[in-house]
Structure 1
Amino acid sequence: MPRYSPERKAALLKKLLPPLSLSVPEVARQEGISEVTLYAWRKQAKAEGAVVSGHRKLSDDWPAEAKFAAVLETATLSEIELSEYCRRKGLYPEQVVAWRQACITGQLSAQAQRQAERAQARIDKKRIAELERELRRKDKALAETAAILVLRKKLNAYWGDDNEDS
């Protein structure tokens, strides 16, 4: 099994990482290195906190440190610069905004968090009550329809009328 120098390993990992973000099979073909080796190196880099693209493009799977770093890097950027940054990293600007909001929410005081939770609980209770009311109404309508069908069936049986259309 060949050993690779740290410089060579870093150069190959650089091809796997943004902005190039080449696929593992592509780099393996270009460099003549086993895909298994490249996958192991990529996994190790991901464990060390590097932003690594995988077969899935789910940037929400990034570790918290990488998300926080992205928020810090984009804090002073204009909208155009933010869009350019997001293209390089394989993100959407909305994700960075959501991560920024999560960072802010994490820094809220305990009292502010409780107030926000109470407000959300009130909204949730209101919605639940509305849905339960609607469910009861639909249950009543269904029971009424079932009763009408049963009565119609009994009436038809009593009169000996097989015609369901009357």
Structure 2
Amino acid sequence: MASYSKAFKEQITKKMMPPNNQSVAQIAKETGLPYATLYTWKQNQQSKGFVVPAKKTTTDQWDSKAKLAIIIQTAAMNEAESAEY
């Protein structure tokens, strides 16, 4: 069983989060990581309150919990950072 650093896991799961919103399938194809591993990492991030969409969706399709999490995550960002986000 492979072991990955915390930094590597965070780097990969950030690809799943806004504004990237890459799917598990895309990331698995790019990196060669197993789907099960990626889904576990995704669930861990979701349980911590991060927005990791279940599938590629637009923001108007997100539930209120996901929208609140985005507001909290971006509250401390300046205008340029939030625009990039």
Q: TM-score, normalised by structure 1?
A: 0.39
User: Which deviations, in whole Å up to 9, do the C-alpha atoms of 1:64-107 show, x marking residues without a partner?
Assistant: 7516527x83xxx8xxx9xx85xx5xxxxxxxxxxxxxxxxxxx
Q: Is the 8 A contact 1:13 1:41 kept in 2?
A: yes
Computing the radius of gyration over CA atoms, which structure comes out larger, 1 or 2? 1
Question: Which one has a larger percent helix, Structure 1 or Structure 2?
Answer: 1
Change in CA separation of 1:3 and 1:64 when aligned onto 2, cut-off 3 Å: same
> Once the 2 structures are TM-superposed, how far is the Cα of residue 56 of structure 1 from its aligned partner?
6.0
* 3-state SS, counterpart of residue 62 of structure 1: helix
Rounded to whole Å, the distance in 1 between the matches of 2:17 and 2:30 is 16
- Which letter does structure 2 place at the counterpart of 1:6? K
2:2 corresponds to 1:2: yes
Structure 1 segments, 4+ long, off by >4 Å, are: none
> Once the 2 structures are TM-superposed, how far is the Cα of residue 43 of structure 1 from its aligned partner?
1.0
Rounded to whole Å, the distance in 2 between the matches of 1:56 and 1:11 is 18
Q: Is the 8 A contact 1:49 1:65 kept in 2?
A: no
2:41 corresponds to 1:41: yes
Q: TM-score, normalised by structure 2?
A: 0.72
Residues paired across the two proteins, number: 78
Rounded to whole Å, the distance in 2 between the matches of 1:68 and 1:6 is 25
Q: Identify unmatched segments of 5+ residues in structure 1.
A: 89-166
Q: Which has the higher contact order (CA 8 A, sep 6+)?
A: 2
Rounded to whole Å, the distance in 2 between the matches of 1:39 and 1:27 is 11
Q: Identify unmatched segments of 5+ residues in structure 2.
A: none
- Residue 22 of structure 2 corresponds to which residue in structure 1? 22
> Once the 2 structures are TM-superposed, how far is the Cα of residue 61 of structure 1 from its aligned partner?
5.3
Q: Over the residues paired in the alignment, what is the CA RMSD in angstroms?
A: 2.8
Rounded to whole Å, the distance in 2 between the matches of 1:64 and 1:47 is 15
